[in-house]
Chain A
Amino acid sequence: MAIQITVFLENRPGRIQTIANILKEKNLNILAFSIQDRGEFGLMKIIVDKPEQARLALSERGMACAAKPVFAITAADRPGNLETLTTALAKKNINIKDAYGFVSPADKQGICYLEVENPQGADLGRLLAEYGFTLIADKDLYDL
């Protein structure tokens, strides 16, 4: 599973830059990120190649952050794939807490990061395989 780092940020100029700078200084590579905004503050969610190093670096600099596992799923870039994925989850009554996805235009590959309630009980790997999706292997995500 992918490890997602969540960081607490105030909503004011330069805050994301600070995070990016801390990661850059440690030569960490950002694979994906998303931001949830709540007016005065927000949460930045980041997937990096070395999650534990990133968490420590942010912590050392006084940022409030946490790491948690999420599913990283690949799918071919074609119409209807998100529908197929969510149908599979809905049938098993699995609730999505958070998700973000994008397509890399060059290699026509869709990637989706998915956070679900009760991930252990879900046995998501098998379910996804049944519907033709693949969980990205750790070795492909991380520079181990």
Chain B
Amino acid sequence: MIWNEEIETMPLENLKNLQSERLVNLVHYVYEHSPFYRQKLDETGVSPSDIRGIEDITKLPFTTKLDLRDHYPFGLFSLPRREAVEIHVSSGTTGNPTVVGYTRDDLKLWSEVMARSLCCAGAKPGDLLQNAFGYGLFTGGLGFHYGALAMGLTVIPCSAGQTKRQLKIMQDFKPDILSCTPSYCLYMADEAKEMGLDTRQGSWRIGIFGAEPWSTSMQKEIEEIWNMTATDIYGMSEIIGPGVAQECTYKQGLHLFSDVFYPEVIDPDSDKPVPEGQDGELVITTLTKQAIPLLRYRTRDVVNMTTQPCPCGRTSPRTSKIKGRTDDMIVVRGVNVFPSQIEGVLLGIEGTHPHYQLVIDRQAHKLDEVEILVEVDEKIFSDEMKQMRMLEQKIKKEIEGVLSIGVTVKLVEPKTIQRSEGKASRVVDKRVL
């Protein structure tokens, strides 16, 4: 079932006209409503009248996560805060988190793209959805919730965690659809096996998984273990939350809802577009958002795109799975982690800059584990065990406070962490996705 047949199967030429009309309106809108964009466009020397169609989009300046941080909390809103009906928060690179807001119409848009996503994954009105994405400041839980309400599902707002209860609900209510991070789905499988359940007899027909990178082999494994169709969803709070792109049951890439989120794929070094099919950084312009519309937002996600027809009939371009990042962000248990956040904590604790390294690991079917190695240099060293223990505990507590996930801290000898320029030495990702 296609939720919005007219839009989702629109011939590409018509889609382009719609995008052009919307982009022209958007640029006028932000120029009038957002002091940030007015200044940015003036500085770039672009007037709203220069933008006549979607092909002019490359004249527009980029927006980055740093812009969001520098205008914390509401400086990138194009409307006064009171016009927003909901606010969500995700992690920032350093210091301040990323704040986004939604007007009533933005929530309608979110519901619409999530309804499209659910249908795209194979949901039918009347299906029962077990939503195990976290509810709260994270956009995962509520995004699915709104979409489910819009398309007529029955939603169980389980949120993340409490695995035994999740499995009991699955056994007793027989939900048709599961939504959560892919690693949590595998974690549930292990827990189920320990409880003596036959996962192949699980009730979920469809799984919708996202908020962290995962591979095709992990997808196949989930399908095999749970006897379900596993699909991939893409999104980020800056754009809307989940519902930017969704894989259909043909699994030939994720349909990106380009009538509202206009995608470009660029070379991150030259900022120039790359030919269709080539890897590059995904850049998205939100064509119709009101509270916090973004021009050419640098997602830092590396993908490639295709406009080739899909057997499902949807015409929107499709992105590949995320192939990497152009920055050093890592996703752990659905939470975005930047090494710079760790750096900030360490600097705050002792006023020094000890060498550190993040080691991320995932044992088979277990949740991601984060270990932070901190070199004990002369400045933070104490010859008293009590002090060293307190230091270890303090680092752990403060990092957990900033990241909102559990970590282990390991104090290591000076000069034992490999030195090299760039991000490689800061993060060791041992996960096999």
Contact = CB atoms under 8 A, between A and B. Distances in A.
Interface of A: 6, 8-10, 15, 36, 38, 40-41, 43, 45, 59, 62-66, 68, 97
A64 B388 contact: no
B385 A8 contact: no
B18 interface: no
A64 B413 contact: yes
A10 B383 contact: no
Contacts of A65: 381, 383
Contacts of A59: 378
A62 B383 contact: no
Contacts of A66: 381-383
A15 B389 CA distance: 20
Interface of B: 376-378, 381-385, 388-389, 410-416
Classify the secondary structure of A's interface with B. strand
A66 B415 CA distance: 17
B413 A10 contact: yes
A62 B382 CA distance: 15
Contact of A64 (B385, B389, B410, B414): B414
A45 B377 CA distance: 17
Contacts of B382: 66
A70 B377 CA distance: 23
Contacts, number: 46
Given A38-B389, A40-B410, A8 B381 contact: yes
Tell me the interface secondary structure of chain B in the complex: loop
Given A10-B411, A64-B413, 8 more contacts: A8-B376, A8-B381, A8-B413, A41-B410, A59-B378, A64-B376, A65-B383, A68-B383
Contacts of A63: 413-414
Nearest to A66: B383
B410 A43 contact: no
B412 A64 contact: no
A111 B35 CA distance: 76
Nearest to B379: A64
A10 B417 CA distance: 13
18 contacts: A8-B413, A9-B413, A10-B412, A15-B413, A38-B385, A38-B388, A41-B388, A41-B411, A43-B383, A43-B385, A62-B413, A63-B413, A64-B376, A64-B377, A64-B414, A65-B381, A66-B383, A68-B383
A43 B413 CA distance: 11
A10 B381 contact: no
A43 B378 contact: no
Contacts of B389: 38
A8 B384 contact: no
Contact of A40 (B385, B411, B414, B415): B411
